[in-house]
């Protein structure tokens, strides 16, 4: 029966949302600890979970359409519409519980994503400020062995 398959898919999707939450928290810990060396690995893992979630979402859409047809609803019905139209109160409760849990997980993921983005912006700003302060001082030597201010970088050729 399609409703059993749909419920199993919803459980798998919720597990993937939990895994995504974990990976985002892991990424946040790397950011707060200043371990930027591992960020590409963390980002790759987040992208892998997002890819798996995308596939799970497609599978869910197929099963929702199948259940909707069995229950006399349009194939593009939402999960909340399925819950409202469930012929059995038990399935209405199960679908509503899945929907509520997934909405909470999604809200938590959005908060983590926004928080991580703020950490990344702060890290970029800090790196830019540090790089701006790294100007050669009078105590450094140029390629000819002379000390003093190095000529400033130029974006345009002044001979033109």
Q: Would you say residue 145 lies in a domain? A: no
Residue 130, domain member (yes or no): no
Contacts of 91 (CB under 8 A, 6+ apart): 3, 83
Kindly report, residue by residue over 118-131, the tens digit of the pLDDT.
Answer: 988 887 887 777 77
pTM: 0.77
Q: Which domain holds residue 38?
A: 2-124
In a domain, 131, yes or no: no
* DSSP letter assigned to residue 151: P
The answer to whether position 151 is within a domain reads: no
The answer to whether position 101 is within a domain reads yes
Domain count, the chain: 1
Q: Looking at the domain assignment, is residue 7 inside a domain?
A: yes
Instruction: Note whether residue 150 is domain-resident.
Output: no
- Cα separation values, 97 from 19, 37, 92, 145, Å: 19, 40, 9, 73
What is the CA angle 49-101-78, rounded to 5?
A: 85
Helix/strand/coil for 134: coil
Q: What is the pLDDT of residues 29-55, one digit of tens each?
A: 998 998 888 989 999 999 999 999 999
């Amino acid at each position: 029966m399609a409703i059993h398959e749909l419920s199993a898919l919803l459980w798998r999707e919720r597990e993937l949302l939990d895994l995504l939450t974990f990976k985002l928290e892991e990424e946040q810990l790397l950011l707060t600890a200043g371990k930027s060396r591992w960020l590409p690995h963390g980002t790759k893992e987040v992208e892998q979970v997002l890819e798996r979630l995308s596939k799970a979402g497609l599978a869910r859409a197929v099963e929702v359409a199948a259940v909707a047809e069995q229950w006399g609803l349009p194939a593009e019905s939402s999960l909340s519409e399925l819950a409202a139209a469930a012929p059995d109160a038990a399935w209405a409760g199960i679908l509503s519980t899945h929907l509520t849990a997934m909405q909470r997980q999604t809200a938590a993921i959005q908060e983590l994503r926004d928080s991580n983005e703020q950490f990344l912006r702060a890290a970029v700003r800090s790196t830019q400020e540090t790089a701006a302060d790294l100007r050669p001082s009078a105590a450094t030597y140029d390629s000819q062995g002379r000390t003093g201010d190095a000529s400033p970088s130029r974006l345009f050729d002044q001979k033109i």
